[in-house]
Chain A
Amino acid sequence: DQQVKQNSPSLSVQEGRISILNCDYTNSMFDYFLWYKKYPAEGPTFLISISSIKDKNEDGRFTVFLNKSAKHLSLHIVPSQPGDSAVYFCAASDMYGGSQGNLIFGKGTKLSVKP
Chain B
Amino acid sequence: DGGITQSPKYLFRKEGQNVTLSCEQNLNHDAMYWYRQDPGQGLRLIYYSQIVNDFQKGDIAEGYSVSREKKESFPLTVTSAQKNPTAFYLCASSPGLRVYGYTFGSGTRLTVV
Given the contacts A105-B42, A107-B40, A107-B42, A43 and B92 also touching, CB distance less than 8 Å:
yes
Q: Is the Cβ of A106 less than 8 Å from the Cβ of B42?
A: yes
Give bound CA distance, A9 to B41, whole Å: 11
Q: Name the A residues within 8 Å of B8 (CB-CB).
A: none
Within 8 A of B (CB), among A53-92: 89
**Which label, helix, strand, loop or mixed, suits the secondary structure of the B interface?**
strand
Q: Is the Cβ of B97 less than 8 Å from the Cβ of A102?
A: yes
**Which label, helix, strand, loop or mixed, suits the secondary structure of the A interface?**
loop
Within 8 A of B (CB), among A25-40: 32, 34, 36
Q: Name the A residues within 8 Å of B58 (CB-CB).
A: 102
Q: Is the Cβ of B100 less than 8 Å from the Cβ of A89?
A: no
Q: Name the A residues within 8 Å of B100 (CB-CB).
A: 32, 34, 49, 93, 103
B85 at the interface (CB under 8 A from A): no
Q: Name the B residues within 8 Å of A93 (CB-CB).
A: 98, 100
Pick from B9, B90, B101: contact of A46, CB under 8 Å: B101
Chain A residues in the interface with B (C-beta under 8 A)? 6, 9, 32, 34, 36, 41-46, 49, 89, 93, 95, 100-103, 105-108
